[in-house]
Structure 1
Amino acid sequence: MTGPDDDPDHDRIPDPFAHVEAELEQIATRLHELAAARDRLKGLLGAVLAISGETELSAVLHRIVTTAMELVGARYGALGVLDDSGERLKDFITAGLSDAERADISDVGFPVGRGVLGHLIQHPQPLRIDDIGAHPASVGFPPGHPQLRTLLGVAITVRGTVYGDLYLSGRNDGQPFDHEDQDIVLTLAGAAGVAIENANLLRRLHASAETFQRLLLPTLPDLRPFTCAAVYVPATTPDRLGGDWYDAIWLPDDACAIVIGDVVGHDLHAAAAMAQTRSMLRAVLFDRLTPPSAVLQQLDRTLLAVTDLPVATVCLARIEPGDGGYTLHWSTAGHLPPLLITPGHQAEYLQAEPGLPLGVSTGQRRPDHTRPLPGGSTVVFYTDGLIEHPAHSLDEGLTALAELATDHATAPLQGLIDALITHHPGDGHDDMAILALRIPLASDPPTSHA
């Protein structure tokens, strides 16, 4: 008689739960794969949104490279932009290189499109290489260049034309790039082409808007014996037109009129309103020569009667000859005060009672102000884009601008306004205009310009 332990077939009895455990392992593996795929898809969508959110072309190109690296876990990335011939690289954006690696190849320059890079240019199909050195098109690396082994390259097209090629190398896990990596980067390349086209469109729009804006501004006349200089800089936001403007003209009574203004708004309507306001102001100036307050009052009434223009701020000044010297006679409509740089190279604001902006009320009195202008002094008229910054108060911006003017007070007039526009304390998100006029050292009044 034998027991169960003596049965030779006892160990061969199947485990009734073995197939369940195997199925559970398969399910767990599948769930893990699905979770990884979900995370990658989520990362891809985030990458597409990040690229689409950029507006400057240089930022778009760099973001394409870095997001592609993140998606596939690559150590190095680059984007080669093709020239007009489509056969050579005209730009090469890289990411992942350390400072030491960049220093090692600083004298080499970016590739022109030979070797495996050139292979992708000539054959714009997705390219995966497990060993770059063994590829028939490989020509090796320049001295100091990191020795890369693996490569994943895809072409980026814009409106059906190859714009450039995206290259990735060195997966962080040491493995070669796989088909899934290729699919992810191909999808990203499609979104990249759209983002590049959008950035190009915005750049062209910005250039057209800037050209339109500049065409609306006048060419300054000969204002001798005064020295005069002006500059207009559009906002950094590509799609924003502005309402800033300046003007300078000789009047029939031999006074020189200076105007700086800013129409509220940042669109085509604001730019058109600026042009209308400037034209009307010129007409009113010749009809009603003085004082500046009366000119602004009449301009305000005219605008209200014949147009539907937005609110605008203006500073109108007359530089009047007399008694062997000159006098500044001005009135403001809600605009910032002129900045006076004295012959001793000190800057001070001509703080005085302001009037209401144009388009607010025509019934309020507008004040006039006067100030003698000694020979060698400079008066700077400017718009608020020069000083406004969300992180600083208006007074801080004014103080910084005055200090900047003091530092460059001895410069030629064009050098002064260039310094103000280059180093201004504003945040650059608004357009800016400056007009500066320097009084001659001689005390003789100007000859007639009537």
Structure 2
Amino acid sequence: MGRKRLTGDGDELLARLGSLTTQVRERAEFQRSQVELAIALQRDMLPGDMPTAPGFHLAVEYAPACYGLNVGGDWYDAFRLPDGCIGLSIGDVQGHNIEAAAFMGQVRVGLRALASVTGDPGELLSRTNELLLTLGTDLFATCTFVRLDPATGVLESARAGHIPCVWATADGRSGIAEDECGPPLGILGGTDYPVTCQRLSSGGVFVLLTDGVVEGPSMNIDEGLDQVVRLAGIAAVAGMGAGRLAEAVIKGAERVGHEDDAAVLVLGHDSPGAHSRP
């Protein structure tokens, strides 16, 4: 009798284990489908072709977070403004799920739409901030917007809680952009975002990036930014193209041990008489 009871208990235990295994498998498949959908959203919402201007080159590199179930909301964008200038944006939505990926699309589209009304980076971020607040979501985004005038090489930029840009010149100078930073988008109404102006000299580079490139378990943000400054300085002195610099920066991001998206947008200005290099 005891042997039969043990056998019955064993069968019941195996049945429960089988049921639990099925539930775990179904949950894993659902979560995987959510990740795949979020990645598809990211891919479809990011731009394809970059705008062009004589003497200037744009290059991007993007590594989505595919560790576990993390899917971030990083984005980059570049488009022609009504006045002939070029608008550049890069940013990061708080959160790592399908909602973050969808919100990223809303922010990017909002920036593009409002850029048809104003090309001033500070006013553009202020208007986008107010727009996002009307959506009634708990999500927020950090962002940098840059306006390039190809005729003069002047860059006007504004930041909303985002990490600073990196610059380098052909004569060997390089550093982190020193500009004021307002709060992230979607948090506080009535916010002003200061605008900083600088000129991208011939042979120089300007690098926009997200924190996944420079911050992670293996490297703090100061060390990560210093790494990008060194790469940008070497690239400018060596006359390296924007594409090669973007590749080097995203490759260096592997050292931070990040589990977040990593996006890099590089703007390069040709030296006088130089051949066009990507």
Q: TM-score, normalised by structure 1?
A: 0.51
Aligned to 1:330: 157
CA positional deviation for 1:211: 3.3
Cα distance change of structure 1 residues 343 and 307 upon mapping to structure 2, 3 Å threshold: farther
Amino acid at match of 2:70: R
Q: Does the Cα contact within 8 Å between 1:317 and 1:328 map onto a contact in 2?
A: yes
Amino acid at match of 1:373: L
For residues 244-289 of structure 1, give each alpha carbon's deviation from its aligned partner in whole angstroms, at most 9, with x where no partner exists. 0011011111111100011100000000000001101101111122
How far apart, CA to CA, are the structure 2 residues paired with 1:328 and 1:362? 26
What is the aligned counterpart of 1:372 among 199, 203, 217?
199
Aligned to 2:115: 285
Cα distance change of structure 1 residues 203 and 315 upon mapping to structure 2, 3 Å threshold: same
Which one has more relative contact order, counting CA pairs under 8 Å at least 6 apart? 2
Secondary structure in 1 matching 2:153: strand
What is the aligned counterpart of 2:106 among 276, 284, 292?
276
For residues 286-331 of structure 1, give each alpha carbon's deviation from its aligned partner in whole angstroms, at most 9, with x where no partner exists. 1122x21011111111111244251110100101245xx3101011
How far apart, CA to CA, are the structure 1 residues paired with 2:226 and 2:106? 33
Q: Does the Cα contact within 8 Å between 1:256 and 1:318 map onto a contact in 2?
A: yes
Give yes or no for the alignment of 1:403 onto 2:233.
no
Aligned to 2:184: 357
Q: Does the Cα contact within 8 Å between 2:139 and 2:186 map onto a contact in 1?
A: yes
Aligned to 1:312: 141
Following superposition of structure 1 onto structure 2, how do residues 51-450 of structure 1 map, counting pairs within 5 Å?
A: 209-225=38-54, 226-289=56-119, 291-308=120-137, 310-322=139-151, 325-409=152-236, 410=238, 411-424=240-253, 425-442=255-272
| The structure with more radius of gyration | 1
Identity of matched residues, %:
33
Unmatched runs of 5 consecutive residues or more in structure 2: 1-20, 274-278
How far apart, CA to CA, are the structure 1 residues paired with 2:171 and 2:116? 35
Following superposition of structure 1 onto structure 2, how do residues 38-53 of structure 1 map, counting pairs within 5 Å?
A: none
How far apart, CA to CA, are the structure 1 residues paired with 2:92 and 2:246? 18
Cα distance change of structure 1 residues 403 and 199 upon mapping to structure 2, 3 Å threshold: farther
CA positional deviation for 1:390: 2.8
Q: Does the Cα contact within 8 Å between 1:257 and 1:318 map onto a contact in 2?
A: yes
Secondary structure in 2 matching 1:332: strand
How far apart, CA to CA, are the structure 2 residues paired with 1:310 and 1:320? 32
**Structural RMSD (CA):** 2.8
Secondary structure in 1 matching 2:256: coil
CA positional deviation for 1:224: 2.4
Q: Does the Cα contact within 8 Å between 2:93 and 2:103 map onto a contact in 1?
A: yes
Q: Does the Cα contact within 8 Å between 1:205 and 1:238 map onto a contact in 2?
A: no
How far apart, CA to CA, are the structure 2 residues paired with 1:236 and 1:304? 29
CA positional deviation for 1:215: 1.3
How far apart, CA to CA, are the structure 2 residues paired with 1:422 and 1:200? 31
Cα distance change of structure 1 residues 396 and 404 upon mapping to structure 2, 3 Å threshold: same
Of 328-337 and 305-314, the range deviating more from structure 2: 305-314
How far apart, CA to CA, are the structure 2 residues paired with 1:200 and 1:386? 30
Secondary structure in 1 matching 2:84: coil
Unmatched runs of 5 consecutive residues or more in structure 1: 1-191, 444-450
Q: Does the Cα contact within 8 Å between 1:206 and 1:238 map onto a contact in 2?
A: no
How far apart, CA to CA, are the structure 2 residues paired with 1:406 and 1:242? 29
Secondary structure in 2 matching 1:287: coil
Amino acid at match of 1:397: G
CA positional deviation for 1:362: 2.1
Amino acid at match of 2:188: S
Amino acid at match of 1:317: V
For residues 143-187 of structure 1, give each alpha carbon's deviation from its aligned partner in whole angstroms, at most 9, with x where no partner exists. xxxxxxxxxxxxxxxxxxxxxxxxxxxxxxxxxxxxxxxxxxxxx
Q: Does the Cα contact within 8 Å between 1:202 and 1:238 map onto a contact in 2?
A: no
The number of aligned residues is 250
Aligned to 2:4: none
Cα distance change of structure 1 residues 408 and 203 upon mapping to structure 2, 3 Å threshold: farther
For residues 55-86 of structure 1, give each alpha carbon's deviation from its aligned partner in whole angstroms, at most 9, with x where no partner exists. xxxxxxxxxxxxxxxxxxxxxxxxxxxxxxxx
Secondary structure in 2 matching 1:257: strand
For residues 321-370 of structure 1, give each alpha carbon's deviation from its aligned partner in whole angstroms, at most 9, with x where no partner exists. 45xx3101011001111111212254311121111111221233321100
Secondary structure in 2 matching 1:223: coil
Q: Does the Cα contact within 8 Å between 2:91 and 2:142 map onto a contact in 1?
A: yes
Secondary structure in 2 matching 1:215: helix
